[in-house]
Amino acid sequence: MDAHCGQRHPEHLRLVAAQWASALEASGFDAVVVAAGHPRFHLFDDLAPFFRPNPHFALWFPDKQCEGAAVLFAPGARPALYFHSPADYWHQSAQAPDWAAERFELRSFAEADALEAAVAKALRTHRHVAFIGENPPRSWAVEANPAPLIHRLHYQRAWKTGFEIACLERATENGVEGHIAAREAYHANGSEFDILRAFLAGSGQTEADLPYPCIIGRNEHAAVLHYQHYDRTIPADNHGFLIDAGASHLGYGSDISRTWPGTEASTFAELIAALDEQQRALIETIRPGLNYLDLHLAMHRRIAELLNRFELVRCSADAAYELGLSRTFMPHGLGHLLGVQTHDVGGWQTMPEGGETPPPNAHATLRLTRNIEAGMTFTIEPGLYFIPMLLSGLRNEAGAREVNWPKVETMTPCGGVRIEDNVLVTDDGAQNLTREAFAILDSP
Ligand code: GLY
Ligand code: MN
Ligand code: MN
């Protein structure tokens, strides 16, 4: 573990233990086992996708070399780590890192059966044990993923510890290095595939390290929100390029989008700059106490204003908003909680005990409806796209007469714009982790 994050990890574990202790007490359990999990094979196959540990396990043990491991936590006692180091000549067998013995009651096992038996034996001294993970062995006699406990654990994850923030900072720095390399590859007229390779090299990652698959779209591919291919051909036209890609550090991922124009001077270049400005201005308004849905709606007002300013609609910005036109051009939510999962859990949760506040139907894709509080981390990722499928749907709706269709058609080959930063809510505003990293790493 690097020093920047490592020095904060013991305090993180103390906080996690305190939070889990009160969640266990409130939900009536005296201990919990949280299991890292096992890789899942492809159908009829003995190969698996890259292993992702149970995110609740990752909260305790931030190293993805942890297949088959489990943490047993009983409030008041040191957490115990049951680590699986199989005798395996096909793969490099995982070894518990040096710091694990300092921070856990560490026991390593070569045999999964022995690990299972040791946990079963340790659990005999507890009455009511919860299990967080998949497929608990019968011998453990645990209650798997009990809702009252899961709700509390999910709710709490919105606030990040100093360690988690440090990890997100590192993940952001690495992601930004990748973005700078990707932009250079684009400016050298690289294909989407070339740009992907530049991002991986720049961010120092293999595909297995990525928090989510890179979205790299030139021209109209930028209008496919989660575009998943990497074209090897170089397009004849060069309107622009959208990249949504992040890096992970100790399990915590950054989630960053930038859009670059094909030529310095074009309407699309102006649109990118205008959305960038609006995104920054919106971030300036973030305060604890606001609700994220209100922020999302405020962004739609700004999108409607851009639709008017760029003459993509013939009506006023207010009319474009009221007619719902901004929703055709920005059909996704403004953002989501960010942490050990790219789309971190609990975004709609109303209370620690559970309950959800979904967004209104017209904004169903919004992943975050909670009140904003200091210590939360989330993305702010407005977009403005020219998506043929949604535009053709709009042609049959009442708002169609207010759309400046010839202008929209001139923009469609550009695909769209997304600008995505990761922010940490502070006591009186928001710290923009992404812009801070760009300011340091991207200065001429
Ligand atoms: N990269 C997926 C997202 O921005 O949510
Ligand atoms: Mn993203
Ligand atoms: Mn995102």
Protein residue with its CA nearest to atom 3 in ligand 1? 255
Share of the chain above pLDDT 70, in %: 100
Average pLDDT, the chain: 97
Closest CA to 227 of 420, 434, 415: 415
pLDDT at 443 over 90: no
Residue 427 has pLDDT above 90, yes or no: yes
SS (H, E, C) the chain: CCHHHHCCHHHHHHHHHHHHHHHHHHHCCCEEEEECCCCCCCCCCCCCCCCCCCHHHHHHCCCCCCCCCEEEECCCCCCEEEEECCCCCCCCCCCCCHHHHHHCEEEEECCHHHHHHHHHHHHCCCCCEEEECCCCCHHHCCEECCHHHHHHHHHHCCECCHHHHHHHHHHHHHHHHHHHHHHHHHHCCCCHHHHHHHHHHHHCCCHHHCCCCCEEEEHHHHHCCCCCCCCCCCCCCCCEEEEEECCEECCEECCEEEEEECCCCCHHHHHHHHHHHHHHHHHHCCCCCCEHHHHHHHHHHHHHHHHHHCCCECCCHHHHHHCCHHHHHCCCCCCCECCCCCCCCCCCEEECCEEECCCCHHHCCCCCCCECCCCEEEEECCEEECCHHHHHHHCCCHHHHHECHHHHHHHHHHCEEECEEEEEECCCCEEEHHHHHHHHHCCC
Residue 146 has pLDDT above 80, yes or no: yes
Question: Looking at residue 439, what is its pLDDT?
Answer: 97
pLDDT digits (tens, 9 = 90+) for 194-229: 999 999 999 999 999 999 999 999 999 999 999 999
Distance 342 CA to ligand 2 centre (A): 8
pTM over 0.95? The answer is yes
CA dihedral 109, 112, 116, 118 (to 10 degrees): -20
Distance 336 CA to ligand 2 centre (A): 10
Q: Which of 257, 296, 337, 366 to mutate to test the pocket of ligand 1 (most atoms within 8 A of CB)?
A: 257
Test site for ligand 1: of 420, 422, 434, most ligand atoms within 8 A of the Cβ: 420
**pLDDT at 265 (0 to 100):** 83
Q: Which two tokens stand for residue 151?
A: 């709700």
| All domains in the chain, ordered by first residue | 3-156 (3.40.350.10), 162-441 (3.90.230.10)
Res 263 pLDDT > 90: no
* Cβ < 6 A, ligand 1 pocket: 212, 244, 255, 336, 381, 420
Measured in angstroms, how far is the CA atom of residue 420 from the centroid of ligand 2?
6
Indicate whether 61 pLDDT > 90: yes
Q: What is the pLDDT of residues 110-137, one digit of tens each?
A: 999 999 999 999 999 999 999 999 999 9
Q: Among positive and negative, which fits the CA dihedral 35, 253, 23, 163? A: positive
Interval between CA 104 and ligand 2 midpoint (Å): 35
Residue 204 neighbours by CB distance under 10 Å: 11
Atom of ligand 1 nearest to the CA of 212: 1
Spatial distance between the Cα atoms of 165 and 11, rounded to a whole number of angstroms: 13
What's the rounded Cα separation, in Å, for the pair 192 and 251? 26
Digit-coded pLDDT (tens) for 352-402: 999 999 999 999 999 999 999 999 999 999 999 999 999 999 999 999 999
Q: Ligand 1 centroid vs 433 CA: distance in angstroms?
A: 16
* Residue whose CA is at the smallest distance from ligand 1 atom 4: 255
Model confidence pLDDT, tens digit, residues 156-175: 999 999 999 999 999 999 99
